[in-house]
Amino acid sequence: MESRVTIVGAGPAGALLAWLLSSRGIETLLVERQSDFEREFRGEILMPSGLRALAEAGVELAKDELLPLRFFEGWMNGRAFIQADADAAGGDFLPPSAVSQPKLLERLVAMSEATGHFSLERGATVRRIERSADGSSVLHVRSDAGDSKVEARYLIGADRRGAVTRRALAPRVRNRGAMLDVVWFKMAYPEAWQPGTARFVGGRGQLLIAIATADGLLQMGWVILKGTFGDLKSRSHDEWVAELWNHADSELADHIGRHAETITRPFLLNVVSDRVLGWASPGALLIGDAAHTMSPVGGQGVNIALRDAIVAANELVPAFSNGGDVDAAAARIEPARARELDVIQRMQAMPPRVMLGTRGIHALARRVASRFLSTSFGQARASVGGRLFFDGVVDVELTV
Ligand SMILES: Cc1cc2nc3c(=O)[nH]c(=O)nc-3n(C[C@H](O)[C@H](O)[C@H](O)COP(=O)(O)OP(=O)(O)OC[C@H]3O[C@@H](n4cnc5c(N)ncnc54)[C@H](O)[C@@H]3O)c2cc1C
């Protein structure tokens, strides 16, 4: 099969776009460096906006792939200030859900394979890209079978931040900076918690996130000030678990103490918030984290990546199918996504300032928040911030 489109990176953005293109008869090659999706630790939260993107794309997730998060609890300075139950929010409320990302990606790849217009190179790392004056590209790929070259008539980079495609297309990047890093790990789920619980524990300049996963575990994110992981890493497992224990509320601290042996090896997410200026160039396009790296605040990265794929398909499918001007179509994608990205990235910067700030004003803001913030799912959903984080900033609808 000679591919019309070559996509680098089978994350949510690349895999969904591959499905949307191949299912509309456009020959698509997907190149992915991992041979097994289970081997990467990735984002696992889908907001209603991301769930809707999948539903529109015709992707139905099985029960064991998706866990609705029905119970939200927020603690600050030792006081519970949010205790929200999605069931009380009314019948049409679609709660955020934990998704098994490896299963989602396997599903997308299997659906694409069934179209007959798709092929996947797994375990193939694109190491270098040569661009030609006519807009085509040559990818230098390394796999267990050795080194090879792939000629890409149209190249889509969906290979995340710092990606090889981003470097090759050499666009300008606007970096918003980020004051936090996140230490991610998983552990046993607390027996006493309702299934589908998410808890946020703030105070004393730290934030702990504990969220049920679709595979029955507890995913924990320990949000720390950027650059302080070195200190943490220099300590033994027992020492850093003791430090973590100090920041949990009493119930979670008890759970961590009793099940410390189930804690998986921690993974540091060096948080970045940036946006490429100029996603499209002749014969090439960037989407997903390759075009805009998202902070993990508010669980937006996967949703935004899926919504990029929908908008990209809306523009590219007609151009490829009708022999239209593909570069002109691709140039419309960034303007259609820019507003949502700017608003979400600006909003993502706010909570860390309050939660992690070391000045007196930040401590005061935390005290005020713990006293006065009290909300239900309905209120959160109705607030401006809630609506934007849950539903997205602009309407995104699949039109092809
Ligand atoms: C630990 C962690 C936790 C996160 N938590 C959340 C969360 O809870 N909610 C949320 O919404 N977001 C979260 N995020 C962010 C979210 O995972 C990303 O924003 C989202 O996955 C972006 O999708 P993508 O398809 O653009 O890129 P990715 O999912 O990063 O996929 C890129 C793919 O490209 C492949 N690749 C990279 N380089 C090459 C190469 N040279 N050759 C071939 N293939 C290559 C990678 O193996 C990968 O499969 C988290 C991220 C991490 C790392």
**Cα(353)–Cα(362) distance, integer angstroms:** 7
pLDDT tens string 145-184: 999 999 999 999 999 887 899 999 977 999 988 788 888 8
What is the per-residue pLDDT for 389? 82
Residue 42 CA to ligand 1 center (angstroms) comes to 6
Check if 31 has its Cβ closer than 6 Å to any atom of ligand 1: yes
Higher pLDDT, 255 or 358: 255
Ligand 1 centroid, distance to 249 Cα (angstroms): 30
Helix or strand or coil: residue 303?
helix
Cβ–ligand 1 distance for 292 under 6 Å, the answer no
Lowest mean pLDDT segment, chosen from 33-37, 122-126, 201-205, 214-218:
201-205
Most ligand 1 atoms within 8 A of CB, residue of 302, 345, 348 to mutate? 302
44 lines ligand 1 (CB under 6 A): yes
pLDDT in tens, 210-263: 999 998 999 999 888 888 777 767 778 888 888 888 888 888 889 999 999 999
Would you say the CB of residue 186 lies under 6 angstroms from ligand 1?
no
Lowest mean pLDDT among 65-74, 142-151, 224-233, 300-309: 224-233
- The domain ranges of the chain are 5-67+97-176+273-349+384-391
Q: Which amino acid is at 257?
A: G
CATH topology assigned to domain 5-67+97-176+273-349+384-391 = FAD/NAD(P)-binding domain (3.50.50)
| Mean pLDDT of the chain, nearest integer | 87
Please report, for the chain, how many H helices and E strands are present, in that order. 13, 21
Q: Among 171-175, 240-244, 273-277, 292-296, whose mean pLDDT is lowest?
A: 240-244
Q: Is 160 in the pocket of ligand 1 (CB under 6 A)?
A: yes
For the chain, percent of residues with pLDDT exceeding 70: 87
Residue by residue, what is the 3-state secondary structure of 114-170?
Answer: CCCCEEEECCCEEEEEEECCCCCEEEEEEECCEEEEEEECCEEECCCCCCHHHHHHC
How far does residue 11's CA lie from ligand 1's centre (Å)? Answer: 6
Residue 158 φ then ψ, to 5°: -130, 40
Average pLDDT for residues 298-313, to the nearest whole number? Answer: 95
pLDDT tens by residue, 16-34: 999 999 999 999 999 999 9
